[in-house]
Structure 1
């Protein structure tokens, strides 16, 4: 059953982009927007975070920033292939790095040089209205779980039927791991509290603001939690339309 804030087109199937122009354009978007990337090695359970710091079409090369946590570098040194996944405005952009990666530097900072991929997966995954919290009191959240010694409190920035964006004060990169499922995401919504599991999809610390932004996808939502989220997002959408 569709909801009032679900787009009629729904989620689009993934596309494989193979032309050099398409590949370069999408990688360039990830670089210019400083979108976080999730790095995963097929034989490893741990995930790592990085960024695209250079995309050079003429040389056919790209550069990835140093992995976080940096112990993932030993897998690169071993010559292991890995998968790269990023999100830009609701679009999943992913590719495989199966060729030898050269560890080097870019403008004095450590990086990993790799050949441009011959194809990337382009997947428009966001099929739900994403509502931003613009007016009114901030909504507090707390993220907790078995992988955290102590819960981390923050604020809710936006929400859709499938996920949300959070803000934490300070740098919490050393406490959270992209790709990890946290069992307790507690939100204090206007009509009651909500707790659900959520998977951390990206993490980005902005040193000028001294805040960390996080994107999460709800994990195995139960019926009541789903209805609470839909109710809240619909309310935000209605308020936004009235303001417009």
Structure 2
């Protein structure tokens, strides 16, 4: 089976995966990485969060944790159908569940549903990264919900799926790969404050500049936030092309 998470040259068109061995591999990855699931019940607009807590290959079942907010447990207990969206390293996965059965896992409620026959898979990695001029000083505010940390950083580049930021001094021990900062606020020109959740992907301290550079990935941005980010990336791309043309003369 090909590695579905191997690095590709650019974003790939959406496709449906129907091979059970591939579907189980993807679900196992989501479970092992504790990637959050967004659960949306049919004919309901509210979204709920959960996680895969168990995969039963023999029974062909996946178990998800109790839902947040807890109101979702009522809909799940009633057997309502729902859709699950998940993201892993810039890859969007989606599948439908006709319903779930309430079960118990470690004395806590969970919900068992059948492993899907098909899974929507869309790789968005490899998105165009637009450089941001250092003189622009576009600020990024980071807040950690549990550790009560707050940082102010500045954009180095930006894409539809993430960004690279710089911070003054050695912050390599304060930012750890895998940490989620929410809310994180991008202060984009014209768009103003754009709030997203950001996950730390990699961190590097540049001693010669006394700066820390960190790669960040956006986690499930709202449609409004994504549009604001996409518009600014397009603006940066147009500016880069304009500068290239001016350099020709």
Larger Rg: 2
CA–CA distance in 1 between the matches of 2:153 and 2:39? 26
Determine helix, strand or coil for the equivalent of 1:220: helix
Taking the aligned partners of 1:15 and 1:29, their CA distance within structure 2 comes to 18
CA distance in 2, matches of 1:214, 1:14: 19
Distance 2:38 2:60 in 1: 22
1:126 aligns with: 125
1:107 is aligned to 106
SS at match of 1:111: strand
Distance 1:8 1:126, change over 3 A: closer
Counterpart residue number, 2:35 = 35
Q: CA deviation at 1:95?
A: 0.6
CA distance in 2 between counterparts of 1:202 and 1:81 reads 30
Task: Determine which of 144, 158, 161 is the counterpart of 2:159.
Answer: 161
Structure 1 residues 71 and 201, CA gap change in structure 2 (3 angstroms): farther
Please give the alpha-carbon distance, in whole angstroms, between the structure 1 residues aligned to 2:198 and 2:187: 22
TM-score, length-normalised on structure 2?
0.59
CA contact (8 A) 1:187 1:193 kept: no
**8 Å contact 2:125–2:161 — kept in the other structure?**
no
Q: Does 1:74 align with 2:71?
A: no
Within the alignment, does 1:195 sit opposite 2:205 as a pair? no
- Describe the shift of the 1:12–1:196 C-alpha distance in structure 2 as closer, same or farther (beyond 3 A): farther
* Structure 2 residue ranges without an equivalent (≥5): 1-6, 131-138, 144-149, 164-179, 200-216, 239-249
Q: Distance in 2 between matches of 1:201 and 1:140?
A: 12
**Contact 2:90–2:161 under 8 Å retained in 1:** no
Which blocks of at least 5 consecutive residues in structure 1 are unaligned? 1-6, 132-138, 144-152, 173-184, 204-212, 232-244
SS at match of 1:43: coil
| Higher relative contact order structure (alpha carbons within 8 Å, sequence separation ≥ 6) | 1
Q: Does the 8 Å CA contact 1:186/1:194 hold for their aligned counterparts?
A: no
DSSP-derived class of the 2:11 partner: coil
Please, which of 226, 232, 244 is the counterpart of residue 233 of structure 2?
226
Give, in angstroms, the shift of residue 130 of structure 1.
6.9
* CA-CA distance at 1:63 after TM superposition: 0.6
Q: Alpha carbon RMSD of aligned pairs, Å?
A: 4.1
- CA gap 1:201/1:142 in 2 versus in 1, 3 angstroms: closer
Change (3 A) 1:202 1:25: farther
3-state SS of paired residue (1:95):
strand
Q: Is the 8 A contact 2:142 2:151 kept in 1?
A: yes
Misfit runs of 4+, over 2 Å:
7-11, 139-143, 153-160, 163-166, 185-189, 192-198, 200-203, 216-231
The count of corresponding residues between Structure 1 and Structure 2 is: 185
